[in-house]
Amino acid sequence: MISKILDMFAAGSAPSGPSTEDRLQLASAALLIEVAKADAAFTTDERQVLLELLRSTFVLDDAALAALESLAAQRADEAVSLHEFTRRVVENSSPAERCDLIGLMWQVAFADGHLDKYEEHLIRRVADLIYVSHSDMMRLKHQFRRES
């Protein structure tokens, strides 16, 4: 599945395009990378948590995980706004899956033992853009703050 995404970007465009699952994985990974970079210190703890969350959430092997991380980092660097990622998340996931994504974002933010104001601001913006309620966002924040 990741190879299809890579092939599409290498060739410019694929006839059938990436699958819904591929688009959701890429958008989710890019948003998680954005959280990790939000405080200008993408630590090894944050990267390790991010990779483990991607591996377990999307059931990826090492090669697929490396490809997804690389492509998501590239897309996050090239993006001019969060809207291309949040739009894909809204179009390709259920409300419960969108809440799960916010939970993943909190886990990445708390991975280094410190929640930076820029990380929190980014998660709040994404929650609004993907229609996760404020109460759900705060519940997840407190849930993962206690676990970290």
Per-residue pLDDT in tens (0 to 9) along the chain, 148 residues: 555 555 544 544 444 566 878 899 999 999 999 999 998 888 899 999 999 999 999 999 999 999 999 999 999 999 999 999 999 999 999 999 999 999 999 999 999 998 999 999 999 999 999 999 999 999 999 999 977 5
Query: What is the domain extent for residue 105?
Result: 2-8+21-147
Q: Are 33 and 70 in contact (CB under 8 A)?
A: no
Residues 6+ positions from 127 with CB-CB distance below 8 Å = 102, 133, 134, 136, 137
- The Cα–Cα gap between 74 and 63 comes to 17
Answer whether residue 16 is part of any domain: no
| pLDDT of 148 | 59
| pLDDT of 14 | 44
Answer whether residue 14 is part of any domain: no
Answer whether residue 71 is part of any domain: yes
Q: How many domains, the chain? A: 1
Answer whether residue 87 is part of any domain: yes
Residue found by looking up tokens 């390790």 in the block? 48
Comparing CA positions, the residue from 92, 101, 51 lying closest to residue 72 is: 51
Read off the DSSP letter of residue 148.
-
**What would the DSSP string read from start to end of 32-56?**
HHHHHHTTS---HHHHHHHHHHHHH
Answer whether residue 15 is part of any domain: no
142: CATH:
1.10.3680
Answer whether residue 95 is part of any domain: yes
| pLDDT of 4 | 52
Which pTM was predicted? 0.86
Comparing CA positions, the residue from 97, 110, 117 lying closest to residue 148 is: 110
Answer whether residue 141 is part of any domain: yes
| pLDDT of 147 | 72
Residue found by looking up tokens 């991010």 in the block? 50
Cα-Cα-Cα-Cα dihedral sign, residues 57, 58, 62, 64: negative
Answer whether residue 58 is part of any domain: yes
| pLDDT of 22 | 87
Query: 96-115 burial, b for 16+ CB within 10 Å, e for fewer?
Result: eebbbbbbbbbbbbbbbeeb
